[in-house]
Chain A
C-alpha cells in the first residue's frame, strides 16, 4: 500500500513542552487518523479527521487535516510522562473503494519528568 512519511522518527522532550509531528503523502487522502501505541498493546485511536482543513481537538491533543489533503499534523500541548509511546498516522486513499488504511512508520515520543 501507499507508504506515509511520518516525522520526526523520534522525539525526546521534557515534561511540559509542546510536541508537533506530521505525516505527508504523495497521494490525496480522504481520511486521516492518529493512533497511539503503548508498549505491549495495540494502537489506540486518538483523533479522526474526514474533511480537508478540519481541525479537531481531544484534550491536549490537536490534529489537522491538511488543505492539500496530502498531509496532517498532530500537536500535543504541555506534555506529561504518560504521553510516552509511539504515535502513528494512518490514512485512506481518496477514491479507494475499500476501507484499508495506510500507516506511517510512527513517531516515538519520550518525555522526561
Chain B
C-alpha cells in the first residue's frame, strides 16, 4: 500500500517567492496533519483537517501560511511570501481517526530552504 506522498522532496527558493507543498494522504484516512520540524523547535503541528475541513489552525505561524484540502486525496500548504526563517522540513501525516485510534502516518517530508 502506498503511504503518505509528499512533493517536492526538496525545495530551494528565494525570499519573497511563493512556495506550495503538496500531500496525498493514505487512501481512506479521514484526518490530515501538516507539521514543521526544525532543530530549535522540534515537530510543531501547523494545521489539521477532518474530512477535508480545517479543524485547528492555531499552529499556523502567520498569515503568510495557508493550507487547503479540496478533496480527500489532496492537500496543499502554501507560503506567500516566503522568508528565510521558514526554512525547515515540512511533514504531512494522515490517520483514520474515526477508528478511535490516533496512529498518524507520516510522509517523507519536504525540505524547504529559503535563501
Q: What is the interface of chain A, defined by CB distance below 8 A to chain B? A: 1, 31, 33, 35, 40-45, 48, 50, 88, 90, 92, 98-101, 103-106
Closest to A48 in B: B103
Count residues of chain B with CB under 8 A from any CB of chain A: 24
Establish whether residues B104 and A45, one from each chain, have CB atoms under 8 Å apart when the complex forms.
yes
CB distance from B103 to the nearest CB of A (A): 5
Establish whether residues B106 and A44, one from each chain, have CB atoms under 8 Å apart when the complex forms.
yes
CB distance from A100 to the nearest CB of B (A): 5
Establish whether residues B102 and A99, one from each chain, have CB atoms under 8 Å apart when the complex forms.
yes
CB distance from A4 to the nearest CB of B (A): 10
Establish whether residues A41 and B109, one from each chain, have CB atoms under 8 Å apart when the complex forms.
yes
Closest to B97 in A: A99
Which residues of the other chain, B, contact A35 by a CB distance below 8 angstroms? 106
What are 28 A-B contacts with C-beta separation under 8 Å?
Answer: A1-B59, A31-B102, A33-B104, A35-B106, A41-B108, A42-B107, A42-B109, A43-B43, A43-B106, A45-B104, A45-B105, A48-B101, A48-B103, A50-B101, A88-B43, A90-B104, A92-B102, A98-B48, A98-B50, A98-B55, A98-B56, A99-B102, A100-B45, A100-B48, A100-B56, A103-B43, A104-B42, A105-B42
